[in-house]
Structure 1
Amino acid sequence: MVYFIGAGPGDPELITIKGQRLIKEADVIIYAGSLVNREVLNGAKENVEIYNSAGMTLEEVLEVMRKAEAEDKTVARVHTGDPSIYGAIREQMDALDEMGIRYEVVPGVSSFVAAAAALKKEFTLPGVSQTVILTRLEGRTEVPEGEQLRSLARHGASMAIFLSVGMIDRVVEELLEGYPPDTPVAVVQKASWPDQKIVIGTLKDIAQKVKNENITKTAQIVVGDFLGNDYELSKLYDKTFSHEFRSAKE
């Protein structure tokens, strides 16, 4: 059995209880060493086989899984954040299907929600935005037509941008196609790690601020008016608003 486990954004306490248990029970661990906090593997069996996939090809990862299955061993395939977001797990799962190897996916805390937590902000503020766009800037990996930042920016929604801080000038250029220049922006590097760093600005000045802090990778860019202070109060707790669990009060 192979378990794809979301290890969370960095803080080893932000992995799920289930994910932590499976890591402790695993006979073989394959973890994304370039991003996953090695402390997440604390508590693993003394004789566990550990592989760092940062330097491995897809074929090499699959061969470790195939060999483990043949030896009746349990594999923990540990990805950063939540494996469903830029985790490249579909190609692994499809290959396991072909080999007849069973697997399960255990979700984790993504860096975009860890960034919001670090900023103490809410992506979906009433009267501001009820939509969150998760995306990335086109680089060596292309994005489908219509999903370029400049197109998505025209929605004015809350946005979390992955894998793009090293191209911050291009990010800002494209965002300005839809958002006003004074739109608030925050960059959170290594959200939830001990050396977490936060930079706050607007589309007018965020690029230079990021450069001044020498942030070039492992960072979330979040943009939108949800970072501001103007919003409507939620109907959920409004005393004049009734719903299934509460009647309106005068």
Structure 2
Amino acid sequence: MVHFVGAGPGAPDLITQRGAALLQTADCIIYAGSLVNPVLLGLAKADCTIYNSAKMTLEDVISVMRENEKNNRITVRLHTGDPCLYGAIREQMDRLDAESIPYDDTPGVSSFCGAAAALNVEYTLPSVSQTVIITRMEGRTPVPEKEKLQSLAAHGATMVIFLSIGLVDQVQQALLQGGAYTNSTPAAVVYKATWPEERIVRCTVGDLAESVHKADITKTALIVVGDFLGTQYDRSKLYDPTFTTEYRKGSKA
């Protein structure tokens, strides 16, 4: 059996109980290099075989899984955050399907959740934004034409940008070209959210690139953009005493 497990954003106590239990029973762990906190590997059994997938190809990973399955060994494929985002798990699952190797998937806390917690913010504020766009800047890995950052920025929604801190100059340009954000739109960068070395840079879209360069952040950081980082929003209807719900009758204003 192969278990895909989300390791969480960095802090070792943010892995799920299920994920931790699977690590403790694994005969083999294939983990995502420097992205996964190595403290989690301390949960492994003494005789567990551990591989760093940063040094492996897809074929290498599948070969290890195949060999473990042949020998009735349990494999944990440990990905950072939640592997449903930029985890490259679909191609692994398709290979396992083709070879009739059983697997399951244990979700994890994504780094975009860790970034919100670090900033003490809510991405979806009433009257400000009810949509979160999770995306990345085109670099060596392309994005579909209709998902270019400039096009997505035209919505003015809350935006969380992965895997793009090294292209921050182009990110800033694309955000402004979208037309909905301005130089004064709030932005923030969270480096290694929930790790001991976590750092936060608060800025605006207009000084985003300058702020990142000044902070010397070049990798392992999320860029978040939008007016949810501001101070203006409407009170939620859910907890408004005048609003009637299935569980509570609203009072007159």
- Fold match, TM over 0.5? yes
Runs of 4 or more consecutive aligned structure 1 residues displaced over 4 Å after TM superposition: none
Worse-superposed segment, 7-16 or 174-183: 174-183
Partner Cα distance (1:25, 1:69) in 2: 15
**Residue 236 of structure 1 pairs with residue 235 of structure 2:** no
What are the within-5 Å matches in structure 2 for residues 1-250 of structure 1? Answer: 1-177=1-177, 178=179, 179-250=181-252
Partner Cα distance (2:210, 2:2) in 1: 44
Partner Cα distance (1:68, 1:200) in 2: 46
Number of residue pairs matched by the alignment: 250
TM-score by length of structure 2 reads 0.98
Look up the equivalent residue of 2:153 and give its one-letter code. Answer: A
Partner Cα distance (1:228, 1:50) in 2: 44
Query: Residue by residue, what CA displacement relative to the aligned partner does 1:153-184 show, whole Å, maximum 9, x if unpaired?
Result: 00000000000001111000000023111100
Partner Cα distance (1:245, 1:51) in 2: 51
Shift of 1:205: 1.1
Worse-superposed segment, 168-177 or 204-213: 204-213
- Note the residue ranges of structure 2 that are not aligned, 5 or more in a row: none
Query: Residue by residue, what CA displacement relative to the aligned partner does 1:88-109 show, whole Å, maximum 9, x if unpaired?
Result: 0000000000010000010001
Shift of 1:34: 2.2
Look up the equivalent residue of 2:7 and give its one-letter code. Answer: A
Query: Residue by residue, what CA displacement relative to the aligned partner does 1:108-139 show, whole Å, maximum 9, x if unpaired?
Result: 01111100100000000000000000000000
Partner Cα distance (2:152, 2:211) in 1: 24
Look up the equivalent residue of 2:122 and give its one-letter code. Answer: E
- Note the residue ranges of structure 1 that are not aligned, 5 or more in a row: none
Partner Cα distance (2:40, 2:248) in 1: 42
Partner Cα distance (1:203, 1:100) in 2: 48
- State whether residues 182 and 206 of structure 2, in contact with CA within 8 Å, keep that contact through their aligned partners in structure 1: no
Query: Residue by residue, what CA displacement relative to the aligned partner does 1:161-217 show, whole Å, maximum 9, x if unpaired?
Result: 000001111000000023111100000000000000100000111211110111000
Look up the equivalent residue of 1:218 and give its one-letter code. Answer: T
Taking only aligned residues, the RMSD between alpha carbons, in angstroms, comes to: 0.6
Taking every aligned residue pair, what percent have the same amino acid on both sides?
60
Shift of 1:55: 0.5
